[in-house]
Structure 1
Amino acid sequence: MVICLEGDGILGVKIGDIVAVEYIGTLDNGGVFDSSESQGGPLEFKVGGGQVLQGFEDAILGMEIGDKRAIVLEPSQGYGEYSKNLVETIPRSSIPNNEKLTKDTMLLVSLPDGSKMPATIIAINEESVTLDMNHPLAGEALHFEIKVVGIS
């Protein structure tokens, strides 16, 4: 998983620490899907708190302030593989305010157990709507360049 490491990382980040990291996330094609700069500054989270992808969290363990690391998370370590089973066509009439639906609109879908899941409209016609409930980054390898800028 680790491609490149600068810094010794002997003591550094451990479970329970609050860390601040600068990062940029790209896909295999080089396209940026997220960055700390686009989010307004460093990402802060508690290590071991489950607030970020496990592979991202694992990668910063042992890093010290100023250390940089480049990692690649395969789909199984990120948002999972793309599943055609999570694509479903439903009657358009079953969606409230269906007159405002357009392709690429994201909806919050209620599941039979009462939980809710985001879904993207990938096709629409007068009778039906096709929803994709995969995460938008499902099936993608995620490349991150990470720099630790704070540990407390």
Structure 2
Amino acid sequence: MTGITISKGATVIMHFSIKLKDGTVADSTKVNNKPAQFQVGDGNLTESFENCLLGLSKGDERTFELGPDEAFGQANPDNIHHLDRTKFTAETPAEEGSIVVFTQPNGAEIPGIVREVVGDSVTVDFNHPLAGQTVTFEVEILNVEGNE
């Protein structure tokens, strides 16, 4: 198909799905039929992901696999913290598997996953939930607007 191809600075509208090794869908814009829009190079996507899209055009569909270093990075042990149970409330329970959001001193919010609760100690993992995972991206390019 001819048309504008994806290059640095282009605005892209696309559907995508992120799948784990076992085929589980971790995220998809098709669930709510709300395509993603971004500008190549704006920092919303990793450089590795953007590089996979370069040269594609409206109507193209592709599937590609990215390792942890190309996708969401490796899990960083420094992002796992042991917090006192008193930091949790009924609204943010200290239950294994729950996702909690903490406000940092600068006002930014950071989500974490409760990994373990032992007595008054709660282990919270602030790594990206997909850190350390090899993922498969499936993309369908709906539109490309050039940067000329």
TM-score, normalised to structure 2, is: 0.82
CA distance in 2, matches of 1:100, 1:48: 38
- Report the counterpart of residue 21 of structure 1 in structure 2: 14
- Report the counterpart of residue 81 of structure 1 in structure 2: 74
Q: How many pairs align? A: 144
Within the alignment, does 1:91 sit opposite 2:84 as a pair?
yes
Q: 2:53 aligns with which of 40, 56, 60?
A: 60
- Segments of structure 2 that go 5 or more residues without pairing to the other structure are none
Give runs of aligned pairs for residues 57-136 of structure 1, distance below 5 A.
57-93=50-86, 95-97=87-89, 100-110=93-103, 116-136=109-129
- Segments of structure 1 that go 5 or more residues without pairing to the other structure are 1-6
Runs of 4+ in 1 over 4 A off after TM superposition: 110-116
Worse-superposed segment, 38-47 or 129-138 = 38-47
CA distance in 2, matches of 1:147, 1:114: 36
TM-score, normalised to structure 1, is: 0.80
- Report the counterpart of residue 4 of structure 1 in structure 2: none
Percent identity, aligned pairs only?
26
1:112 Cα deviation after fit: 7.1
Contact 2:14 2:139 in 1 (8 A): yes
CA distance in 2, matches of 1:39, 1:50: 24
- Aligned to 2:69, the other structure's residue is in SS state helix
